[in-house]
Amino acid sequence: MSDPIPYARPAPGTQPPLDSPAYRSTQGRAPLLAPIRAPHTLTETSSPRLSPLHYPAQADMSVHNGKAAMGERIIVAGRVLDEAGRPVANSMVEVWQANSAGRYHHVRDDHDAPLDPNFEGHARIFTDAEGRYRFTTIRPGAYPWRNHHNAWRPVHIHFALFGQGYAQRMITQMYFPGDPLLALDPIFNTTADEAARQRLIASFDLGVTEPEWALGYRFDITLRGPAATPFEEGDHP
Amino acid sequence: MATAHQTAGPYWHMIDFPAWADLLRADGPNAGAEGERIVIEGTITDGDGALVTDAMVEIWHADPAGRYDAAFQGFGRCATNAEGRFRFVTLKPGPVPGRGNTLQAPHVQIAIFARGLLSHLTTRLYFAGEPLNETDPLLGLVPAERRATLMAEPVSPGTWQLDIRLRGGAETVFLDI
Ligand SMILES: [Fe+2]
């Protein structure tokens, strides 16, 4: 049988290095040894086919048990494509976030900000045939963390994506335009490439905005695409 | 350019669904699937040898015939508990074709997401004593003295244990995939 097409490796600086001292938690957890470069086999180029039948979609975080959550309702929409511009279709996307006061509905979040009984803060959606996704939520709040003195995370929503090969699996964070905390955030700033960082920031989009209902933000996500040449991968003939 | 990874952080449990650790669950996609039932478990420790109690562990593996394109979905997710442990119930995968007409030994891809990991770590679990381990193309790329970090050992019938050390000590071999 023919070998699967490998995925492209990231260009230098476009992904955050595991060992990033400014983000303190990396110092106990990032491996010290270099990883072994693994050829891409069916294990890396296949992905779970997660169907809404067993993983039901839930695309509205702004209402819980029929009651509206506190905060500014927003719509987030975008497309998931690979680097070759091909839609990542029918793929599960998971998102989670803090409430409008900057507190997670999570037992270990002890930030002294109110919980909202009408907000849990997680959703599951599926891309359509064109790779499009869309969900409704509440604009999350910034929250403090203990990385350094007076450290605050910029407003963000966590995204988990699968793609069509497990080598495309990724978790990222979507940030909001104009957030003054971005310049101060060690997690955001670990990625050296300026353009790569900017792509983590959603854009306000009047086309996604719904009149008299909710502001809209657009966040497009690019998963790894096929390697430029099949020989780049270091094949073992 | 692909979108940059960012850490899953300490609050990823918002997407923890403990049932997913049992790939054979009655209401799941693999209900009724046939094969050798196995348990995969282990403990994750950090650079100080301390337990990692907030990690998200995912597995991805082939079906008992070594296929990814059949009905079985070898995907599971498990949070490490207060003892740093994860535990999955699944079916033992079969050998999977490798590149260039090679054959890979049965293996389970493991992804670890956590606070302090800006992108997830990838490793593999192999089954100790499997004859195909001797000729597995990936194991062949791993220095012999480090291969044990990928080798699950049977601790009781059907239960395989693989402990994972993120940093330092007998550091687990991680893969750049
Ligand atoms: Fe967060």
Interface confidence, given as ipTM, is 0.97
pTM, two decimal places: 0.97
Structure confidence at residue A235 (pLDDT): 47
**What Rg do the C-alpha atoms of chain A give, in angstroms?**
19
Q: For A88-123, what is each residue's pLDDT tens digit?
A: 999 999 999 999 999 999 999 999 999 999 999 999
pLDDT at residue A231 is higher than 90: no
Window 6-65 of A, Cβ < 8 Å to B: 8, 10-11, 14-18, 20, 23, 25-44, 46-51, 53-54
B104 has a chain A CB within 8 A of its CB: yes
Structure confidence at residue A58 (pLDDT): 97
What is the DSSP code string of B44-109? EE-TTS-B--S-EEEEEE--TTS-SSSS--EEEEEE--TTSEEEEEEE----EE-GGG-EEPSEEE
Q: For A20-64, what is each residue's pLDDT tens digit?
A: 999 999 999 999 999 999 999 999 999 999 999 999 999 999 999
Chains A, B: CB pairs < 8 Å:
224
Write down the domain spans for chain A.
Answer: 48-223
DSSP H helices, A47-192, are: 186-189
Closest Cα in chain B to A3: B99
- Please state the rounded mean pLDDT for residues A134-155: 98
The CATH H-level superfamily of A48-223 is: Aromatic compound dioxygenase (2.60.130.10)
Taken in order B76, A4, B63, B98, is the CA torsion positive or negative? Answer: negative
Question: B28, B3, B20: which is closest to B60 by C-alpha?
Answer: B20
Rounded to whole angstroms, the Cα distance separating A54 from A56 reads 6
Ligand 1 centroid to residue B20 C-alpha, Å? 22
A38 with B107: Cβ contact below 8 A: no
Structure confidence at residue A2 (pLDDT): 86
DSSP H helices, chain A, are: 26-29, 42-45, 186-189, 194-198
Out of A121, A167, A170, the one facing B14 most closely (by C-beta) is: A121
pLDDT at residue A229 is higher than 90: no
Residue A236 pLDDT level (bands cut at 50, 70, 90): very low
Structure confidence at residue A228 (pLDDT): 80
Structure confidence at residue A230 (pLDDT): 54
Rounded to whole angstroms, the Cα distance separating A206 from A203 reads 10
A121 has a chain B CB within 8 A of its CB: yes
Ligand 1 centroid to residue B111 C-alpha, Å? 20
Question: B135, B78, B85: which is closest to B106 by C-alpha?
Answer: B135
Structure confidence at residue A188 (pLDDT): 98
The CATH H-level superfamily of B12-165 is: Aromatic compound dioxygenase (2.60.130.10)
Q: For B77-92, what is each residue's pLDDT tens digit?
A: 999 999 999 999 999 9
Work out the minimum CA distance from B88 to partner chain A, whole angstroms.
Answer: 16
- Please state the rounded mean pLDDT for residues B68-79: 97
B28 has a chain A CB within 8 A of its CB: yes
Query: From start to end of A50-184, where are the E strands?
Result: 63-64, 67-68, 73-82, 92-96, 122-126, 132-138, 143-145, 151-153, 156-161, 170-175
Pairing of strands B37-45, B85-91: antiparallel
Q: How far is CA B80 from the centre of its chain?
A: 13
Q: For B127-177, what is each residue's pLDDT tens digit?
A: 999 999 999 999 999 999 999 999 999 999 999 999 999 999 999 999 999
